[in-house]
Amino acid sequence: MILLARLGVLAVLLVLWSVTAAHMPQGLFASPSETLAAARGILAEGRLWKAIAASLQVYLSGTGLAAVVGIGLGLAMGAAPFFGRTIDVFLYALAATPRVAFVPLIIVLLGLGIQAKVFIVFLGAVMPIVLNTYAGVKAADRDLIEMARGAGAGQARIFAHVILPGAVPFLVTGLRIGATIGLINTVVAELYTAVSGLGGLLATYGASFRMPEYFVVVLTLSLIGVLVTEALRQLENRLTRWNSASGRRD
Q: Average of pLDDT values for 170-177?
A: 89
> What's the CA gap between 25 and 65, in Å, rounded?
44
Complete domains list, the chain, with CATH: 46-249 (1.10.3720.10)
Residue 91: which H helix or E strand, with range?
helix 81-96
pLDDT digits (tens, 9 = 90+) for 97-137: 887 888 888 888 888 888 889 999 999 999 999 999 999 88
Is the pLDDT confidence value at 248 over 60? no
35-39, 97-101, 157-161, 211-215: lowest mean pLDDT where?
157-161
Separation CA 50–CA 53 (nearest Å): 5
Tallying the residues shown for the chain, one arrives at 250
User: Would the CA dihedral through 139, 144, 149, 152 be positive or negative?
Assistant: negative
Can you give the three-state secondary structure of 137-170, one letter per residue?
HHCCCHHHHHHHHHCCCCHHHHHHHHHHHHHHHH
pLDDT above 60 (res 245):
no
CA nearest neighbour of 60 among 166, 193, 161, 178:
178
User: Confidence band (pLDDT; 50, 70, 90) for 60?
Assistant: very high
pLDDT at 169: 83
* Residue 153, pLDDT score: 63
Entry pTM: 0.81
CA 181 to CA 162: how far, in whole Å?
A: 30
Instruction: Tell me the pLDDT band of 74, cut-offs 50, 70 and 90.
Output: very high
At residue 243, the pLDDT reads 61
pLDDT confidence of residue 128: 93
- Measured from the Cβ of residue 113, the count of other Cβ atoms closer than 10 Å reads 11
For residues 122 and 165, the model is more confident at 122
Look over the chain and give the mean of its residue pLDDT values, rounded to a whole number.
83
Average pLDDT estimate for 17-23: 80
Summarize pLDDT for 228-239 with one digit per residue, the tens: 888 888 877 777
